[in-house]
Amino acid sequence: MFDLTGMNALVTGASGGIGSSVARCLARQGARLALSGSNPAKLRGFRDELNAEFGHDHVEITCDLSNAEQVEELIPATVDTLGKIDILVNNAGITRDNLAMRMKDEEWEQVIRINLEAAFRLMRAATRPMMKARFGRMISITSVVGATGNPGQANYAAAKAGLVGMSKSMAQELASRGVTVNCVAPGFIRTAMTDVLPDAQKEALNGRIPMGRMGEGDDIGAAVAFLASKEAGYLTGQTLHVNGGMAMFA
């Protein structure tokens, strides 16, 4: 079940905490990966790890998601390198937190450009090859704050909520061609950034989660692997909330 053998996937932000977990889960299920990010050295190192552990001759493609020209070239480069693209995972994202009354225009623009606009450009570019193949999986990593909001993150919450609405629209446009478009919304996930938080702050965060702990990157990776699979072919326009019960939606 959830065998991705023979499928090719592009994962953005692939060398980061959640991105690397997503990439590992897809590789473990048999997918061949194009790993994208802005740090060539980290990408090469991670690619070598995946090739040693899983094989499949994974590749890396450097891309600055704030550069529209580079973003437009990423899908064609993936298809040229791998031969086709079956799975697109929009994972890369940044934060520029500030209270709305103090938020600078560039803080708003940077988050929207990388977290939302770049995802749209990649999904638009992937539409044609996926429609032609009559198969595709587009999966965007959003956030619980896209549904709940969060003080100091008006830009981030807007971008993540925008991903959900955009995915629903594209899901309706592409469903008849066998292309599904879904989101995964993480809650608090344990990463290198959360590991350095003071114990008191970790306890406070865990106290907001019914399961009493932060999630792991593999929890997100598993959700993505499911949505990428053939078994998830009748699921589109949906958001899977992976948050340990911190926020429950009807």
Question: What's the pLDDT score for residue 196?
Answer: 77
Q: Name the CA radius of gyration of the chain, rounded.
A: 17
Which of 46, 54, 156, 226 is catalytic? The answer is 156
Question: What's the pLDDT score for residue 237?
Answer: 98
Question: What's the pLDDT score for residue 192?
Answer: 76
Walk me through the domains of the chain, giving residue ranges and CATH numbers.
8-241 (3.40.50.720)
Question: What's the pLDDT score for residue 204?
Answer: 87
Q: What is the number of alpha carbons within 13 Å of residue 107 lying toward its C-beta?
A: 16
Please count the other Cβ atoms lying within 10 Å of the Cβ belonging to residue 83.
9
Question: What's the pLDDT score for residue 132?
Answer: 97
**Residue 212: left (phi > 0), alpha (psi -120 to 50), or beta?**
left
Angstrom distance (rounded) from CA 101 to CA 72 = 33
pTM for this prediction = 0.95
| Residue 156: active-site member | yes
Identify the segments of the chain with pLDDT beneath 70.
Answer: 193
Q: Are 247 and 21 in contact (CB under 8 A)?
A: no
